[in-house]
Amino acid sequence: MELDKSIAAVAKGLYAVVLFCIQMQSIKEVLSKDQVGKKVGVRGWIYRTRSSGGIVFAVLRDSTGLVQVTVKKGAVPDADFESSTKAGIESSVEIEGEVAEDKRAPGGYEVRASRFKLVGASEAFPITEYQSTELLLDLRHLWIRSREQTAVTKIKASLVRGGREWFHDNGYTEVNPPIVTGVCPEDSTTLFQLKYFDRIAYLSQSAQFYLESLIYSLEKVYAITPSFRAEKSRTPRHLAEYWHMEMEAAWVDNDGNMKVQEELVSAMVRNAVSECSDELKLLKRDPATLKKIEPPFDRMKYEEAMEFLQKKGHDVSWGSDLGAVEERTLTVDREVPVFVINYPKELKPFYMKENPEDSRTYKNSDMLAPEGFGEIIGGSERETDNALIIERLRDKGESLDSYQWYLDLRKYGSVPHSGFGLGIERIVTWVCKLEHIRDAIPYPRTVARVYP
């Protein structure tokens, strides 16, 4: 009798060891025909759960998908069954069981549990089906577990990886410019100032000037950094902190710059379509539409854009800036991005190269995403004439002190060069067809929000 008990205890101990030792698999690996009849281990979080007549039906999620697990009284130790009835939404669990085909289950398969281990119980989860946008932003640290946010994050990673690979394959070197700077490449009204020891510095708006300095040794460089803009207006396209993919290259003119942009963007989108078609479908974005993104993209002069907008009833004329509304009209009927080129000088920063064919304009381009999404890239050929740069900085009322080093770059072996900056959350918003840019980043920073 005693012996029987101790054999049983040893057997139970062994079982526990086996449960811990069983190879855990991802949900995606478990959902396949050749797993049917096999014993598997899966772990994750409870996505939804219900019980009826001595069976618990729990749907588990992990980063790779959803799978239904059935826990039947009698098929698992009593304590395990008890745990499974108590495990609520978002509890973390480990399961061992056999894979079976079941047409009604998500993905077509289920795991029939032989063990059920509650790892971390969950209190009543504060996010239920219909919640206000504000509440979801307050609970962002929990909302990022949602399937939509998970899909967006994966697509973003895939776009960025596609970009990095393209740069690598085309001879660019990744570099690390500073985030704390003394220069203002873009609009001075959107600078974030910070106390830097005993002086004032700024959070970087763009790595451009530093990338320009690196082309003299590396020729073709790129960087992926956070950029900061103190945008006071609330819009669905602006963040105060966003991720910026920027490139700079020696011996490249404005046309060459646009070729790089269209190839890069096509490569990024191609990568996301090939790696993330399930995630795109989950977001109701048809991957077939994105397969059309291949170079070349149309080029439209600013002047032509104005004529087009006037015909569509916009009250614009030479010198009008293109805002979200105008960019929407320009792109809403397009399936592929378009470049708007040669903007009037007064609309763009001081560092751009004058257009020799029309001195009112610069050799620059903005790339607008189709379907109404608008600007995703700003780029230009760079001015190499220091006298012109100094004149423009003076006109802007800038002190030249912080720019001496930038002016130096033109004194020692200056070369024609160009570059651009791509807003990573902007391309994600378009590719994922999001209504608001804040959903393209886990923790959006806007004028109203630094929590969580």
By the criterion CB under 6 A, which residues form the site for ligand 4AD? 185-186, 205-206, 208, 229, 231, 238-239, 242, 244, 246, 375-379, 419-421, 423, 425-426
Query: Cα–Cα distance between 291 and 271 in angstroms, integer?
Result: 10
Nearer Cβ to ligand 4AD (183/276): 183
Given Mg ion, ligand 4AD, none, residue 337, with its beta carbon under 5 to 8 Å by kind, binds: none
Q: What is the smallest separation between the CB atom of 348 and Mg ion, expressed in angstroms?
A: 8
To the nearest 10°, the Cα dihedral for 426, 432, 438, 444?
-90
Q: How far is the CB of 185 from ligand 4AD (least distance, A)?
A: 5
Nearer to Mg ion, 42 or 322 (CB): 322
**Partner from Mg ion, ligand 4AD, none binding residue 206, C-beta < 5-8 Å depending on class:** ligand 4AD
SS3 for 187?
Answer: coil
Tell me whether residue 240 or residue 280 sits nearer to Mg ion (CB atom): 240
Asked if residue 41 binds Mg ion (CB under 5 A), the reply is: no
Q: Select from Mg ion, ligand 4AD, none the partner in contact with residue 420, using the beta carbon and a kind-dependent cut-off of 5 to 8 Å.
A: ligand 4AD
d(CA 241, CA 344): 28
Query: Which range, of 253-261, 263-271, 373-381, 425-433, touches Mg ion by CB under 5 A?
Result: 373-381
Question: What are the contacts of 398-406 at 24+ separation with CB within 8 A?
Answer: 398/184, 398/188, 402/182, 402/183, 403/183, 405/213, 406/183, 406/209, 406/212, 406/213
Q: Which residues contact 223 (CB under 8 A, 6 or more apart)?
A: 174, 175, 176, 177, 207, 210, 211, 244, 245, 246
DSSP codes joined into one string, 39-96: EEEEEEEEEEEEEETTEEEEEEEETTEEEEEEEEBTTB-HHHHHHHHH--TT-EEEEE
Q: Could you say whether residue 378 binds Mg ion (CB under 5 A)?
A: yes
Taking the complex as a whole, the smallest distance from the CB of residue 292 to ligand 4AD amounts, in Å, to 21
Is the Cβ of residue 105 or residue 352 nearer to Mg ion in the bound state?
352
The C-alpha atoms of residue 131 and residue 329 are separated, in whole angstroms, by 32
Closest to ligand 4AD by CB, 76 vs 427, is 427
The sheet with strand 298-301 has its strands ordered as: 173-174, 220-228, 241-250, 417-423, 374-381, 364-369, 338-341, 298-301
- Indicate the residue among 44 and 421 with the shorter CB distance to ligand 4AD: 421
Stretch that binds Mg ion, among 162-170, 229-237, 356-364, 377-385 (CB under 5 A): 377-385
As a whole number of angstroms, the distance between CA 405 and CA 139 comes to: 45
Residue nearer to ligand 4AD on the CB measure, 45 or 167? 167
Rounded to the nearest whole angstrom, what is the least distance from the CB of residue 437 to ligand 4AD in the complex? Answer: 6
Least distance to ligand 4AD from the beta carbon of 377, Å?
5
Cβ at position 252, least distance to Mg ion in Å: 19
Which residue ranges make up the site for Mg ion (CB under 5 A)?
378
